[in-house]
C-alpha cells in the first residue's frame, strides 16, 4: 500500500482549505482598491440574483478607486443600492454613467480590527486542517482494525499525516502573517 497515494485526498482537502482562506482574504478591504471586494455583492437583474461583476465592467484606474460601468444603464440604480446596502462602508459616487468607489486610507483602529479578523480566519483554517488530520487518522485506524494494513503501516501513515498537517498549518501561518503585514502598511 502506497502511503502517498493514501494521503492524496487529505492533502487535496487541506489545499482547498488554504484556497478558501486566500479567497476570504481577498474580500478584506486593505486600503487599496481591490475589485474582489465586490464578489459577494449581488443585484436583482431581471429576477435573478447576479454578481455585480457579471453585469458591469469593473476597473481600478487608481490605487484607491474602483470604477463600475454597467453594461445596461438601467441597472445603475440597482448596483448603487446594492453597494449602499453592503458592508463595504464606502458610499458610491454616481455620475449617471458609472459608479466610483473611493477607498479612504484605513485608520489605525480599523487596521487592528482587520488584523484580528484575519487572525480569526487563520485559526478557523487551522481547525479545518486539524479536522482533516483527524478524519485521515480515523480512516487509517479503521483500516488497521479490519486488518487491511499492519500496525506498523498505521503508525507510518499517522506520522506522515502529522507531517502533512504541520506543513499546511505553517502555510496558513505564512498567509496570515503576509495579510497582516499588508494591512499594517501605511
| Each residue's pLDDT tens digit, 116-168 | 989 999 999 999 999 999 999 999 999 889 988 888 888 999 999 999 999 99
Higher pLDDT, 159 or 41: 159
Query: Quick one: how far is CA 38 from the chain centroid?
Result: 13
Q: What is the pLDDT averaged over residues 91-106?
A: 86
pLDDT band at 14, cuts 50/70/90? very high
156: helix, coil or strand? helix
Distances (CA, A) of 20 to 44, 67, 88: 26, 27, 20
What total of structural domains would you count in the chain?
2
Q: What is the CA radius of gyration of the chain?
A: 22
CA distance 61 to 43: 24
| Cell numbers representing residue 56 in the block | 458591469
Claim to verify: residue 85 and residue 123 sit in the same structural domain: no
In this prediction, residue 6 carries a pLDDT of: 86
Claim to verify: residue 53 and residue 142 sit in the same structural domain: no
Average model confidence (pLDDT) across the chain: 88
pLDDT band at 184, cuts 50/70/90? confident
Number of continuous H segments (helices) and E segments (strands) in the chain: 4, 6
Q: Which residues of 72-83 are buried (b: 16+ CB within 10 A; e: fewer)?
A: eeebbebbbebb
Residue 15 has pLDDT above 90, yes or no: yes
In this prediction, residue 141 carries a pLDDT of: 92
Q: Which residues of 127-145 are buried (b: 16+ CB within 10 A; e: fewer)?
A: ebbeebbeebbeebeebbe
Q: Which CATH number characterizes residue 80's domain?
A: 3.30.1360.40
pLDDT band at 31, cuts 50/70/90? low
| H-only helix segments in 27-107 | 76-85
Q: What angle do CA 45, 49, 124 make, to 5 degrees?
A: 150
Task: Give residue 93's domain range.
Answer: 35-102
Higher pLDDT, 84 or 88: 84
Q: Which CATH number characterizes residue 158's domain?
A: 1.10.132.20
Claim to verify: residue 150 and residue 88 sit in the same structural domain: no
In this prediction, residue 105 carries a pLDDT of: 79
Amino acid at each position: 500500500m502506497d502511503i502517498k497515494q493514501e494521503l492524496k485526498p487529505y492533502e487535496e482537502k487541506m489545499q482547498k482549505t488554504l484556497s478558501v482562506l486566500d479567497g476570504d482574504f481577498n474580500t478584506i478591504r486593505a486600503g487599496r482598491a481591490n475589485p474582489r471586494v465586490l464578489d459577494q455583492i449581488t443585484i436583482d437583474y431581471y429576477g435573478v440574483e447576479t454578481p455585480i461583476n457579471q453585469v458591469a465592467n469593473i476597473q481600478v484606474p487608481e490605487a484607491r478607486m474602483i470604477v463600475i460601468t454597467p453594461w445596461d444603464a438601467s441597472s445603475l440604480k440597482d448596483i448603487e443600492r446594492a453597494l449602499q446596502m453592503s458592508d463595504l462602508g464606502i458610499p458610491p459616487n454616481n455620475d449617471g454613467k458609472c459608479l466610483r468607489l473611493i477607498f479612504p486610507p484605513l485608520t489605525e483602529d480599523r487596521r487592528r480590527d482587520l488584523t484580528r479578523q484575519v487572525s480569526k480566519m487563520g485559526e478557523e483554517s487551522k481547525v479545518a486542517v486539524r479536522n482533516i488530520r483527524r478524519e485521515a487518522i480515523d480512516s487509517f485506524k479503521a483500516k488497521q482494525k479490519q486488518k487491511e494494513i499492519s500496525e506498523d503501516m498505521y503508525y507510518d501513515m499517522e506520522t506522515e499525516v502529522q507531517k502533512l498537517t504541520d506543513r499546511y498549518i505553517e502555510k496558513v501561518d505564512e498567509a496570515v502573517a503576509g495579510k497582516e503585514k499588508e494591512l499594517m502598511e501605511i
